[in-house]
Amino acid sequence: MSAGTQTAQTKKRYSTPYMINMAITLLLMFGFGLLPPFATLTPVGMRVLGIFIGVIYGFSTCEIIWLSLFAFLAFGLSGYTNIALFGLDTRTPGQLGKGNRSDTIIIASINNDTQEVRLVSVYRDTYLDLANGKFNKCNGAYSSGGPEQAMAMLNKNLDLDIQYYISVDFAALTETIDLLGGIYIDVDETEISHLNNYTVETSVVTGVETQKLTQTGLQLLDGVQATSYCRIRYTDGDDFKRTERQREVIGEIVNTAKKADITEINEIINAVFSKIATNYTNEEIIQMAPEMIGYNIVDTQGFPFDRVPASVKGKGSCVVPVNLAENVKQLHEYLFGNYSYTPSEEVQAISNQITSDTGY
């Protein structure tokens, strides 16, 4: 091919129409997601739709393959990542499948654009659809079908698309905290005796020895002590307060991990990985660790926001969402800043059934 022919093709390829099409492609892929969400789309859904439309337009008009690949790479590092965290009340370390109730249910919502994390505890006694058409306390979903059904329960009732989970028991949590060198917790007068009482069983279950606390105030807790702190529910606030303690411990684990170097973090991941249940691979967690260290937990909440304790026939004492659909709307506003979100027909149907069953 002659130099003249190459020059002509280059001019043709980068002609004004080509550059206009490239600009339109970029605008669709990266600008569409900035528009206010409509219908049932979340901000992430808007971004996905924009990238999809942009890729089709770019490829059909000027075959911008490299631009399409770049867009997908950029999206992979942006948007929201939602992870289900389950804490199991099993007395046998390593039993992390179905047959165990998840006393801790937390949604970790990670905004990859702002590096902000929000934690939402779903109260374990919340009356919901267990993802199989049966209504009961939501922690029964894990017992019935393991983490897969528990994730499905969250997705179905809350209009989410959680695809990853991490499940831990007393032993895994205790070892993680001990490998970090402990965490600082402010223990008050109403908590210290309950904490010390729980350390007895926690030590037996984990096989790790500890000491009783002798004073209140901010202090360094070891793994058994911090795990026992998570278990306290016999104070004002009952189980609602317990979920606050659980989120506090997660926050302190994150803060302490930030002070460790990445080699130490990788060693902890390798040591604990065999003692947790997750659909992440060990390699995936290690790859995410350096980036996650820079993220910050900016706020935590409990769900449902509007609730009432009530006795439900055949189900015992439950936490009943006072209109599930409205609570889910608040959840999407809180997690994603989506103030135009409308609950799906499925969530509305579940909400109506809860009202029918409970009167709320």
Question: Does 282 share its domain with 133?
Answer: yes
Mean pLDDT over each residue of the chain, to the nearest integer? 87
Name the pLDDT band for 14 (thresholds 50, 70, 90). Answer: low
- DSSP assignment string, 110-132: EETTTTEEEEEEE-TTBEEE-SS
- Domain boundary residue, one of 76, 94, 124: 76
Question: Does 62 share its domain with 112?
Answer: no
Question: Does 22 share its domain with 148?
Answer: no
Cα–Cα distance measured from residue 15 to residue 20, given in angstroms and rounded to the nearest whole number = 9
Contacts of 217 (CB under 8 A, 6+ apart): 186, 187
pLDDT of residue 149: 98
Position with higher pLDDT, 132 vs 72: 132
Record the tokens describing residue 130, joined without a space: 């267990």
Question: Does 184 share its domain with 322?
Answer: yes
Record the tokens describing residue 332, joined without a space: 């999407």
Whether 22 has a pLDDT exceeding 90, the answer reads: no
Burial (CB count within 10 angstroms: exposed 0-12, middle 13-18, buried 19+), residue 51: buried
Look at the chain and report how many structural domains it folds into: 2
Question: Does 49 share its domain with 131?
Answer: no
Cα–Cα distance measured from residue 52 to residue 28, given in angstroms and rounded to the nearest whole number = 9
- Domain boundary residue, one of 49, 76, 103: 76
- Angle, helix 170-179 to helix 262-272, in steps of 10 degrees: 160
Record the tokens describing residue 264, joined without a space: 């130490």
- State the CATH number of the domain containing residue 307: 3.40.630.190
Question: Does 90 share its domain with 48?
Answer: no
Q: In terms of residue numbers, what domain contains 105?
A: 80-358
Cα–Cα distance measured from residue 214 to residue 195, given in angstroms and rounded to the nearest whole number = 11
Distance of CA 97 to the CA centre of its chain: 19
Tell me which H or E stretch contains 101: none
61, 21 Cβ separation under 8 angstroms:
yes
Is residue 313 helix, strand or coil? coil
Tell me which H or E stretch contains 308: strand 307-312
Contacts of 74 (CB under 8 A, 6+ apart): 30
Range with the poorest average pLDDT among 266-270, 278-282, 284-288, 325-329: 284-288
Question: Does 72 share its domain with 97?
Answer: no
Question: Does 63 share its domain with 155?
Answer: no
Name the pLDDT band for 66 (thresholds 50, 70, 90). Answer: very low
Record the tokens describing residue 318, joined without a space: 């439950």
Highest mean pLDDT among 21-30, 59-68, 270-279: 270-279
29, 79 Cβ separation under 8 angstroms:
no
Average pLDDT score over residue span 318-344 = 97
pLDDT of residue 27: 74
Instruction: Kindly tell me the sign of the dihedral angle through the C-alpha atoms of 21, 25, 28, 31.
Output: negative
Per-residue pLDDT tens over the stretch 184-208: 999 999 999 999 999 999 999 999 9
Question: Does 146 share its domain with 92?
Answer: yes
Cα–Cα distance measured from residue 72 to residue 248, given in angstroms and rounded to the nearest whole number = 35
**For 28, which DSSP code?**
H
Q: Are strands 296-303 and 116-122 parallel, antiparallel or unpaired?
A: parallel
Question: Does 70 share its domain with 139?
Answer: no
Name the pLDDT band for 3 (thresholds 50, 70, 90). Answer: very low
Cα–Cα distance measured from residue 327 to residue 335, given in angstroms and rounded to the nearest whole number = 12
- Domain boundary residue, one of 18, 44, 76: 76
Whether the bond between 304 and the residue before it is cis, its omega within 30 degrees of 0, is yes
Question: Does 291 share its domain with 205?
Answer: yes
pLDDT of residue 177: 98
Cα–Cα distance measured from residue 157 to residue 324, given in angstroms and rounded to the nearest whole number = 8
Q: Which of 122, 131, 126 is nearest to 360 (CA)?
A: 126
Cα–Cα distance measured from residue 187 to residue 213, given in angstroms and rounded to the nearest whole number = 9
Question: Does 149 share its domain with 67?
Answer: no
pLDDT of residue 76: 47
205, 171 Cβ separation under 8 angstroms:
yes
